[in-house]
Amino acid sequence: MVPQERFNLKDTDLTIPSRGLGTFQVDPKAYPEGSVKDSVLNALRTGYRHIDTALGYGWGAVEREIGLAVRESLIPRKDIFLVTKLHNVFHRPEDVSVGINMSLKNLGMDYVDLYLMHFPYAYAATENYGTQRTDDDKPVIDVPLSRAYDQTWTAMEALVDDGKAKMIGVSNFSTPKLKRLLKVARIHPVVNQIELHPYFPQKGLVNYCRENGIHITAHCPLGGNVVPVLGARTGPGPLEDPIKAIAQKNGRTPGQVILCYLISLGVSVIPKSNHSKRIEENFDVLFDLDPADFEKIDSLMGVDGTLGLRTLDMTEYLGFNNFNELVEEP
């Protein structure tokens, strides 16, 4: 069971590399200026050709460093699969182009390969596209606009028409929201980027996406660091036993085993790291995983995966469950 280097995307001849570098910084203050650039440059020189970011990561600071790294690498732009995301304050249809133009300016590029709606819900925006916040510093949700993500999608389709994005997709979408989006989409959402790892396999959502031609990219594929205001998981994460034992048996790290497993599922992965050795290890993951080991990992959270627990739980932070798999919220 050897995982693939690239995956096909529906309704396009473009493919997405299975191994990417994530650039979300849980605490941007913990990383000195230039650290993202150095990490991306190291990744590109290691062989990565899939870089994932978002305007919301440092409000453009991360995008700017990625642009610098790409130019310094001297790798032709066409050979790099670059992903960024629409921030929650740009969900009004007339603001979608403003959001991508900000990202393109930060990156110093004319287009991105894939542009994702970062979340299906919208923040109430200030006059200059800041986020309105409550007294306890939580974002104010624009509920009517959050429910109109299909109209936001229509505006995103125009970005493909204009050549600013080669493809568009979504992130953190539940099955009910995907079902409604597919009813109105003129351009098919080629990707749904979601939290996915052996301790949170989301098998129902993954199967729905697979059946409807939506590729899955896994963020937090190694379990991720718990974001203080969003933390849900307690106790051990997916780098612990029994994956540790499988890794020792194969002469690999637990992280390499997990990434190999996910890619073998047909999922692209975007682990984040600022450490050179780990960046290299996370790229060296296309190896033959024993079917018995695959099945052991695949059933960690039960045959149907319902025992899983997400790392990023936003229910208390937002006031509703964005990830409800039965009905749409808010």
Which stretches within the chain are classed as H helix?
35-46, 61-73, 96-107, 143-146, 149-161, 175-184, 203-211, 243-250, 254-264, 276-283, 291-298, 315-318
Sign of CA dihedral 197, 200, 201, 206: negative
C-beta atoms surrounding 52 within 10 Å = 26
Q: Would you state the structure tokens that stand for residue 63, as one six-digit string?
A: 């995008």
From the candidates 48, 57, 121, 149, give the one annotated as an active-site residue.
57
Is 57 known to be catalytic?
A: yes
C-beta atoms surrounding 156 within 10 Å = 27
CA proximity to 17, closest of 43, 54, 38, 56: 43
| Spatial separation of the C-alpha atoms in residues 236 and 241, rounded to whole Å | 9
**What amino acid positions are annotated as catalytic residues?**
57
